[in-house]
Structure 1
Amino acid sequence: MADWKTAEAPERLRTSGLGSCVGVVLYEEGLSIAAMAHIMLPDSSMAAGRSLQRAKFADTALEDVLACLKEKGCSLRRLQAKLAGGAQMFSFSEGSDMSRIGPRNSEAVKAVLKENGIPVKAEDTGGSKGRTIEFSIMDSSLYIRTVNEGKTII
């Protein structure tokens, strides 16, 4: 959680505990490398003067992931993304923006990807249930296990 990593085929990238968090995978088809970030919060401005753990936030985590992938030889023009998570885990009566952390995480990730010209090839976001994801670098498949719903592949 609040982390990111890269791996090379035949390894797989995996993260669990995606409730309101978003798991985002960045990869370039044809290369044997990918990165996965487990995003907890939409924007580093939420740190409000506290020490910043860059991997926690959509804006700073994805900035670091993109720099790392570029350094490893990926072309930002050819990167693609798959994402899952961003659930609304609890219902709140007031409906404030702060209570929609899952949807805000998804929106923030998509905004950073769009800003960098990276298409979202597939996603499984929203709902109210947690997920575990695993990405196969070999075939660019994202395996998603949703609580009480089973597995899907995107």
Structure 2
Amino acid sequence: MIQQNLVKVGMADLNIATDGAVLKTTGLGSCVGLTLYDPIKKIAGMAHVMLPSSDIARETTFNFAKYADTAIPELLDRMIAAGAHVVRLKAKMAGGAQMFAMSGQTDSLRIGPRNVESCTAVLNRFKIPIVAQDTGGSFGRTIEFDSAKGMLAIRSVQFGTKEI
């Protein structure tokens, strides 16, 4: 999906897109690329979530986009300010891989699965349905979300490109 109007979303970052712009993030391993979409207003949002909970935050300058529990509410606020309505929002997500296999894994090493669980819990709190997802596995992904069509394209070296 090559578009002239590309909005890049970095790691631990979020942004919104309108007017047919495409949101793109790369480097999704254990991170989750979460997208929200208002199909009537054609407003899209994307967050590149690194960690499940801000409870573990230690940085001096807090980055709300880094954590599922703070990134999703911030993304919602930005989308609502742009004219989206929460009752129409649909979510799609990709990533949340378990990048390294380790024996006797503790919960703290399950970052990918915990990111997916945390994103799902926050979306449930706002009653936003997850209409499609490509999560888990042990491989990285790059995603692009088309704000005109509401389509999420997922690319990986192992599986090529698919759209959900």
TM-score, with length taken from structure 1:
0.96
Q: Deviations over 1:65-85 (max 9, x none)?
A: 111111111111111100000
Fraction of identical pairs, as percent: 49
Match of 2:141 in 1: 131
Match of 2:127 in 1: 117
Once residues 95 and 51 of structure 1 are traced to their aligned partners in structure 2, the CA distance between those partners, rounded to angstroms, is: 30
State the Cα RMSD in Å: 1.1
Instruction: Point out where structure 2 has 5 or more consecutive residues left out of the alignment.
Output: 1-10
Once residues 115 and 50 of structure 1 are traced to their aligned partners in structure 2, the CA distance between those partners, rounded to angstroms, is: 28
Once residues 146 and 49 of structure 1 are traced to their aligned partners in structure 2, the CA distance between those partners, rounded to angstroms, is: 31
Residue 70 (1) aligns with residue 80 (2)? yes
| Alpha-carbon distance, 1:50 to partner | 4.5
Map 1:4-153 → 2, pairs under 5 A: 4-48=14-58, 50-153=60-163
Once residues 129 and 91 of structure 1 are traced to their aligned partners in structure 2, the CA distance between those partners, rounded to angstroms, is: 12
Range with bigger deviation, 47-56 or 124-133: 47-56
Once residues 18 and 149 of structure 2 are traced to their aligned partners in structure 1, the CA distance between those partners, rounded to angstroms, is: 12
| Alpha-carbon distance, 1:31 to partner | 1.2
Q: Give the aligned residue type for 2:100.
A: F
Q: Give the aligned residue type for 2:132.
A: A
- Structure 1 segments of 4 or more deviating over 6 A? none
**Preserved CA contact (<8 Å) 2:96 2:113:** yes
SS in 1 for 2:105: coil
**Preserved CA contact (<8 Å) 1:44 1:52:** no
Instruction: Point out where structure 1 has 5 or more consecutive residues left out of the alignment.
Output: none
TM-score, with length taken from structure 2:
0.91
| Alpha-carbon distance, 1:99 to partner | 0.9
**Preserved CA contact (<8 Å) 2:53 2:118:** yes
Once residues 137 and 49 of structure 1 are traced to their aligned partners in structure 2, the CA distance between those partners, rounded to angstroms, is: 33
